[in-house]
Amino acid sequence: MALDGYSRFTFQREGRVLTATITGANPVNGVDGLMHDELARVFTDLQHDTDSDIIVLTGAGRAFCAGGDFAWFAEQIADPRKFRDIGWDAKRIVTSLLDLEKPIICRMNGAAAGLGATIALLCDIIIADERAVIGDPHVKVGLVAGDGGAVIWPQLIGYARAKEYLLTGDMLTATKAAEIGLINHAVPTDQLDAKVAELAAKLMASPRWAVRWTKTVTNTPLKALVAQMMDTSIAYEMMSNMAADRAEAVAAVRERRAPTLTGE
């Protein structure tokens, strides 16, 4: 199946390993409306691609994916219907990533934040440049961490640690993330590609269907948790988008100043 018609992704093949590169309209691969649309269908298209067995997901340039673009945030604040309209796709990003049978390796080449962090952490094996950072700073821009962060973080590092990071929005270094089990490996920049290739080769060395369906079985509890939580998560996130402090938090970031929060 041809992977064409994408503006926010590029694709490269090496044998039966397919690298999908997030290629945003800004230097940190921030999520805009078009990227959100494409994220909601890319993992289904990757599943149907008959010429690949392993997927590597990475980012162009210096970041993996730094979460929502602030100009897009401003549009959603000005017209909350635009946030409502992405709810179905927000669920589909998470469910289609978990439904993908092929192993997917995250090559975390740089910062992964918000939705970018969720996507990275929902991959099967996460290998990061040790200079990268990861975190879910939804709360710092006035949003509930509703696009999957509240689902996956506690499963990887436990509720106590997950709630600390989700409630503060603090970022972690890749080295720290590997130490606490949030990601698999943090390696020097010049070793990143070799480590990704090593893991891809290990996966390719075993029978295809044994690998794919082992992943499928392992993801079953996560999929059940997503079914239980995502509607509520997105609903709360949608409500938080309409709060006064949400607009102030986004304005403060864009204007490079401290926010004046009112609790409203």
pLDDT confidence of residue 128 = 98
% of the chain exceeding 90 in pLDDT? 98
Complete DSSP assignment for 41-60:
HHHHHHHH-TT-SEEEEEES
pLDDT confidence of residue 4 = 87
Angle at 174 between CA 155 and CA 23, to 5 degrees: 95
Those residues with Cβ within 8 angstroms of residue 66's Cβ, 6 or more apart along the chain or in another chain: 28, 29, 30, 111, 112, 113, 114, 116
pLDDT digits (tens, 9 = 90+) for 97-112: 999 999 999 999 999 9
Coil, strand or helix at 214: helix
Mean pLDDT for all residues in the chain: 96
pLDDT confidence of residue 1 = 53
CB atoms within 10 A of CB 44: 15
Q: Are 67 and 30 in contact (CB under 8 A)?
A: yes
pLDDT digits (tens, 9 = 90+) for 96-153: 999 999 999 999 999 999 999 999 999 999 999 999 999 999 999 999 999 999 999 9
Residue 221 pLDDT exceeds 70:
yes
Complete DSSP assignment for 235-256:
HHHHHHHTSHHHHHHHHHHHTT
Mean pLDDT of 196-223: 98
Q: Which of 135, 80, 113, 140 is nearest to 261 (CA)?
A: 140
Residue 19 pLDDT exceeds 60:
yes
Q: At what angle do helices 33-48 and 87-99 cross, to 10 degrees?
A: 30
pLDDT confidence of residue 252 = 93
Q: Which residue has the higher pLDDT, 96 or 4?
A: 96
Q: How far is CA 67 from the centre of its chain?
A: 8
- In this prediction the pTM is 0.96
How many CA atoms does the CB half-sphere of 225 hold within 13 Å?
16
Residue 2 pLDDT exceeds 80:
no
pLDDT confidence of residue 76 = 94
Mean pLDDT of 195-213: 98
Query: What is the side-by-side strand order in the sheet with 171-173?
Result: 63-65, 111-113, 133-135, 171-173
pLDDT digits (tens, 9 = 90+) for 148-187: 999 999 999 999 999 999 999 999 999 999 999 999 999 9
pLDDT digits (tens, 9 = 90+) for 50-69: 999 999 999 999 999 999 99
Q: Are 100 and 132 in contact (CB under 8 A)?
A: no
